Each structure stands twice: as structure tokens, then as C-alpha cells.
């Protein structure tokens, strides 16, 4: 099975998003997620669509630019520019 890219969140800070690869069906929405592409420890996966990775909205969310770069080197397309 081909791994897919999911947006994961750190357990210590809300809305601090990274990316990680996970096999379909092995997402960890309630904790126990593996590390992000950049090596950062993750708390859990989210169901946020990849297409909004990098979007800023009313909440003080942050997105890891290192994860975006690493995902792109693996052929994934992240549409939003991550600041």
C-alpha cells in the first residue's frame, strides 16, 4: 500500500501543524501518531485536507515549512505557500 500524506498536530501546542506519511487506515486521530517528516514528535493526525496546508485563518495556526519541503521532494504537491 502506498503511504499518504496527512496533516498532524503536536500534542503540546494547538494548531501547530506538520506533515507525516501514514498508510491508509493507520491514521491516529486520538493520539499515538508517529513523528513528522521533519522529525518532530506528533500528537495525533487531523482530517484537515492537504489542500489547506499553510492557510492562515482566524486561529493562530502555524505550519511547518520543513515538512512541506520534504513532502515536495517526495513528489507531493502542497498548493499553499507556507510562510
Name the residues that contact Zn ion, by CB under 5 A: 18, 36, 38, 40, 64, 66-67
Helical H segments across the chain, by residue range: 65-73
Which residue, 67 or 78, has its beta carbon nearer to Zn ion?
Answer: 67
Q: How many Cα neighbours within 13 Å face the side chain of 51?
A: 1
CB of 13 to Zn ion, least distance (A): 12
Helix (H) or strand (E) holding 18: strand 16-22
Quickly count: other Cβ atoms within 10 Å of residue 8's Cβ.
30
CB of 59 to Zn ion, least distance (A): 18
Which residue, 39 or 60, has its beta carbon nearer to Zn ion?
Answer: 39
CB of 42 to Zn ion, least distance (A): 9
Amino acid at each position: 500500500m502506498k503511504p499518504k500524506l496527512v496533516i498532524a498536530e503536536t500534542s503540546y501546542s494547538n494548531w501547530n501543524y506538520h506533515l507525516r506519511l501514514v498508510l491508509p487506515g493507520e491514521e491516529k486521530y486520538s493520539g499515538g501518531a508517529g513523528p513528522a517528516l521533519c522529525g518532530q514528535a506528533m500528537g495525533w493526525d487531523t482530517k484537515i485536507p492537504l489542500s489547506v496546508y499553510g492557510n492562515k485563518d482566524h486561529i493562530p495556526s502555524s505550519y511547518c515549512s520543513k515538512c512541506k519541503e520534504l513532502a515536495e521532494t517526495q513528489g507531493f504537491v502542497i498548493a499553499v505557500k507556507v510562510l
